[in-house]
Amino acid sequence: VTALKPNWLLGSVESAVYIDGVEQVSKASIVDFTNPVIYTVVAGDGSFRNYTVTINTYPAASGTEITELGMEEPLIVADIDGNDITIYVPHGSELTALPIYAMASPSAIVENGTKEVKSSASDHDVSSQPTVLTVTAENEDTEDWNLYTIPEITFTEFKFSNLIPEVIGVLDSTGTSFNMTVLEGTDLETLVATFTLSVAGTAEIGSIPQESGVTVNSFASPRTYTLIMSDGHEVEYDVLV
């Protein structure tokens, strides 16, 4: 605050501004605001008014925390554990241009390399595992965070191949439910689902492991499949016949 250049507007071009008798120029005169400064505004008719300007300072914020990171469409919020951030993204996502957002400590900036990760989603290359994000606080302290981007497990195929004709599942608008339409009179008590998973993992109904093309189930009422990744992450899909 020892060498600031204030700017101002006056109500009349005939008015002038002084500090201790020295005329001041807006955006040009350098002023030390270590202590309160008294500005005197003199009108064209010689009348004047004094204004005291006090500048208060505060310590720069030191927070370097990422409080939330995710995607907006579809809405996905990452898991944060210490300085490790894990986000499960839809199968087929382009990791070299993934639209992510980040929220951090007040006045802090999150950067992926030299590109800022803002509070609204923008494309970022997160193909490195991990991708290191750097948070810079207002006081210029920094802290690194490791972002792991993992394609989420999903069904890439789900069908009843033992039926003639075979029935292929179609995901609804939520992306988490299969609607299956079978011929009238089909025995729903002994259907066998054939499926393929996008990544290594297992499928269960309740606690019963499911084997593609082998396990027999009743689909007289909706069934919920739980897909479990090798790291324990789970996703549920409903199947309605």
The mean per-residue pLDDT over the stretch 90-104 comes to 95
- With a cut of 90, say whether residue 174 has pLDDT above it: no
Rounded average pLDDT over 155-177 = 90
Per residue in 110-154, pLDDT tens?
A: 999 999 999 999 999 999 999 999 999 999 999 999 999 999 999
Average model confidence (pLDDT) across the chain: 94
pLDDT band per the 50, 70, 90 thresholds, residue 2: very high
Measured CA to CA, the distance from residue 11 to residue 13 in angstroms comes to 7
Q: Which residues contact 87 (CB under 8 A, 6 or more apart)?
A: 69, 70, 71, 76, 78, 79, 100, 147, 148, 149, 150
**Segment 30-34 long-range contacts (CB within 8 Å, at least 24 positions apart):** 30/3, 30/4, 30/5, 31/3, 31/4, 31/5, 31/6, 32/1, 32/2, 32/3, 33/1, 33/2, 33/4, 34/1, 34/2
Q: In which band, very low, low, confident or very high, does the pLDDT at 91 lie, cut at 50, 70 and 90?
A: confident
Chain-centroid distance of CA 194 in Å reads 35
Query: Model pTM greater than 0.95?
Result: no
Report pLDDT for 200.
92
pLDDT value at position 61?
94
pLDDT mean over 163-167: 90
User: For the segment 31-80, what is each residue's pLDDT rounded down to a tens digit?
Assistant: 999 999 999 999 999 999 999 999 998 889 999 999 999 999 889 999 99
- What proportion of the chain, given as a percentage, has pLDDT over 70? 100
